[in-house]
Amino acid sequence: MTAGSPASSRRLSQLQALVLLAVLLAGGVALLEAFGSGYHRTLAALTLINVMLAVSLTMTNGFTGLFSLGHPAFMTLGAYVAIAFTYPAGRKSFAMPDLPAFFSGIEWPLPAGALIGAIAAAAAARIVGISVLRLKVHYLAVATLGLIIIVETLALNLDGLTRGGRGLTGIPRSAELWLIALCTLLVIVGCWRLKHASVGRAMLAVRENEMAARCFGIDAVRLKVTAFVLGAGIAGFCGALLPHVVAVMTPNSFGLMLAFNLVAMVVVGGQGSILGAVFAALAFSLGTEGLRPVEESLGLYGLTQVVVAVVLILVLIWRPKGLFGLDEPLVETR
Amino acid sequence: MTELLVARGLGIAFGGVVALKDFDLAVAEGDLLGLIGPNGAGKTTAFNLLTGVLRPDRGTIHFAGREITRARPERRALAGMTRTFQNIRLFDELTVLQNVMAGAHGRHGASTLAAVFGGPVLRRSEALIREKAEAVLARTGLAELAGQRADALSYGDRRRVEIARALAAEPRLLLLDEPAAGMNDREKAALSELVTRLNADDGLTIVLVEHNVRMVASLCRRLVVLHEGSVLAEGATERVLRQPEVVGVYLGRRRDHETRQGAGADASEGAGGGC
């Protein structure tokens, strides 16, 4: 937020930035649909979902100073709830025999299912948040790690709903690229608006000094719950989209490794920087895919994860606040 | 004049150290009251109890006729009591204007949904908050610094921004915890002038914790002197400053301070800084 700095004259206005983002997304989708291979489209879809996840985590953690690692838990929940609504009706009794009879005739379109998945994840976050958000920074991190394990274990053992470790296959590939791009645009714009409104400033005040913020009338607990629930809702939505890109869902599709990667994206981009999270998610997603052939040719499997960890450590040493800190690069913030 | 803030028999101990005992305080509407005492006397602890940063072990607090002894800090702030901190707690990565605008959120901020979806409610709230914040900045002489990041300011200006942020919450009672600490003489004079104006012109009730006895004496009509966690003296400024026990506490301060440090009786300041 460098309003009034010399660079601000060369920054895009918010409207220009919005138009540019929309054009880039629409153009990218059009090009990929016309000329891209299935591989490219899937890569683009996964990249955009990573962008949404990183942006929502920078809202939850970056705006309010929480340190939640719980995104994968909410993604898993959102995914299974959505699948219960979108899975081909004819195969439900075989794949998910324990599903209540109500679901047996249902085969809803993805947006409806994903929305319900998001609401379920947000509701779960609201319930968990009441107790968990009393915890200070690293205790919250540990508690949300526990949440990932709990959800994963539940999914593994609720065999009649999830097919356990064998996973659900044959999920409709209904997450069209344009739909994901549209959702990405909405998530970025929504989080941007939140950050630059009074509520956003109040959240940042809580992050900077909770007691000082409370002493001039900011309800810190409520804002933290809001950020946690909103972030979980977006995570639930993304979790619902993902299996509809790759057609498979297993209990450990979204695990600890993903939690680490997401936190790495947020820390590298700058905690609280929305565009920082976007750039970090793009670099991470495309970078790891770019490194894959190197891994294979050298036989150094796991190399990408090492690179991510090293980048994270280097950023923490040289730029502890991330590449952009709280700032938004390139765009005016008034 | 009606009494705005009344504390009766407040007490708190940290571990074995009694930081404040049987603390009574009555602040009338329109008062400009000084709370003084040597290091570790319990001044900041008293503020922390009054504003809800700490909960008292015993005693009651009433504000504007309502009991607030157990109320959360944000409730007290919305009821009309805000404060500054001895160790400045500004939001360093935000600009001066944004810091002060955050101060107005509790009263005038639009909801999260309004923020995300926009619309007239959000626009009105944002415009009102900006207007209020700009008015406070003008009042406190900070208008020119509005666009600066808080961490780029001089020490004296940071103190003033903290006051401005507390004012943006539209208090009836403002508690200032050592606002002149670390200021040079010119900044102190400007601060004195600001405090006087806020009290005399705007009718704001102010309680001031201050080390600098000369400054308090020139500003405050009434003083409360704390010593070792209890009220040593209170009343009209000139009379209090002439009382032998008050003079004794201040003249004997050096020796007193050394022995107290050994006993770890600075717990009140430590607890204030740590929360």
Domain residue ranges of chain A, discontinuous segments joined by +: 10-318
* pLDDT score for B191: 93
For the cut 70, the answer to whether the pLDDT of residue A309 exceeds it is yes
* Residue A19 exposure: Cα atoms within 13 Å on the Cβ side: 5
* pLDDT score for A5: 46
For the cut 50, the answer to whether the pLDDT of residue A231 exceeds it is yes
Nearest Cβ partner for B115 among A197, A211, A213: A197
pLDDT band at A334 (very low <50, low <70, confident <90, very high): low
Interchain contact A6–B (C-beta under 8 A):
no
* pLDDT score for B40: 86
Q: What average pLDDT does the segment A25-50 reach?
A: 96
Interchain contact A209–B (C-beta under 8 A):
yes
Helix (H, G, I), strand (E, B) or coil at B89: coil
Contact A54, A131 (CB under 8 A): no
Query: With an 8 Å Cβ cutoff, are B111 and A199 in contact?
Result: yes
Question: What values do phi and psi take at B231, rounded to 5?
Answer: -75, 125
* pLDDT score for B254: 45
Domain boundaries, chain B: 1-80+172-275, 90-170
Nearest Cβ partner for B165 among A190, A197, A216: A216
Q: What are A103-162's pLDDT values in tens digits?
A: 988 999 999 999 999 999 999 999 999 888 887 778 899 999 999 999 999 999 999 999
Residues of A in contact with B151 (CB under 8 A): none
Q: Which two tokens stand for residue A220?
A: 């810190």
Q: What average pLDDT does the segment A71-82 reach?
A: 98
Q: What are B136-149's pLDDT values in tens digits?
A: 999 999 999 999 99
In this structure, how many other beta carbons lie within 10 angstroms of the beta carbon of residue B244? 8
* Distance (Å, whole) CA B148 – CA B130: 16
**Residue at token pair 């909405």:** A186
Helix (H, G, I), strand (E, B) or coil at B94: coil
* Distance (Å, whole) CA A132 – CA A230: 15
Which of A199, A313, A207, A191 lies closest to A264, judged by CA?
Answer: A313
Q: Please list the alpha-helical segments (H only) found in A58-171.
A: 64, 71-86, 89-95, 110-132, 137-157, 159-162
Task: Give the E-state strand segments of chain B in sequence order.
Answer: 3-14, 17-28, 32-36, 58-63, 66-67, 81-83, 173-177, 205-209, 222-227, 230-236
* pLDDT score for A182: 98
Question: What values do phi and psi take at B10, rounded to 5?
Answer: -70, 135
pLDDT band at A9 (very low <50, low <70, confident <90, very high): low
Across chain B, which has 275 residues, the per-10-residue mean pLDDT values are 91 92 95 92 94 96 96 96 92 92 95 92 96 96 95 92 96 95 90 95 95 88 93 93 87 50 39 33
Helix (H, G, I), strand (E, B) or coil at A191: helix
Q: What average pLDDT does the segment A37-44 reach?
A: 96
**Residue at token pair 């600009």:** B95
Query: With an 8 Å Cβ cutoff, are A215 and B105 in contact?
Result: no
* Distance (Å, whole) CA B248 – CA A74: 64
Helix (H, G, I), strand (E, B) or coil at B12: strand
DSSP lists the bridge partners of residue B208 as B34, B176
Rounded (to 5) percent helix, strand, coil in chain B: 45, 25, 30
Q: What average pLDDT does the segment A175-184 reach?
A: 97
Query: With an 8 Å Cβ cutoff, are B129 and A325 in contact?
Result: no
Q: Which long-range contacts (CB under 8 A, 24 or more apart) does A304-311 make?
A: A305/A257, A308/A261, A308/A264, A308/A284, A309/A264, A311/A264, A311/A268
Residue A176 is classified by DSSP as: -
Which of A267, A272, A265 lies closest to A64, judged by CA?
Answer: A272
Measured in residues, chain A has a length of: 334
Greater pLDDT, A1 or A114: A114
Query: With an 8 Å Cβ cutoff, are B93 and A208 in contact?
Result: yes
Which of the residues A1, A136, A216 would you substitute to probe the B interface, choosing the one with the greatest number of B C-beta atoms within 10 Å?
A216
Q: Which two tokens stand for residue B213?
A: 């006895």
Helix (H, G, I), strand (E, B) or coil at B21: strand
Helix (H, G, I), strand (E, B) or coil at B20: strand
* pLDDT score for B11: 95
Query: With an 8 Å Cβ cutoff, are A215 and B83 in contact?
Result: yes
* pLDDT score for B265: 38
Task: Please tell me which residue of chain B has the smallest CA distance to A188.
Answer: B116
Query: With an 8 Å Cβ cutoff, are B116 and A193 in contact?
Result: yes
CATH number of B1-80+172-275: 3.40.50.300
Query: With an 8 Å Cβ cutoff, are B122 and A201 in contact?
Result: no
* pLDDT score for B182: 85
* pLDDT score for A333: 81
**Residue at token pair 């207007």:** B131
Q: What is the mean pLDDT of chain A?
A: 93
What is the signed CA dihedral for A46, A48, A53, A59, rounded to 10 degrees? 170
Region of residue A167 (left: phi > 0; alpha: psi -120 to 50; beta: else): left
* pLDDT score for B257: 46
Task: Please tell me which residue of chain A has the smallest CA distance to B98.
Answer: A201
Which of B219, B251, B223, B259 lies closest to B239, judged by CA?
Answer: B223
Nearest Cβ partner for B275 among A3, A211, A219: A211
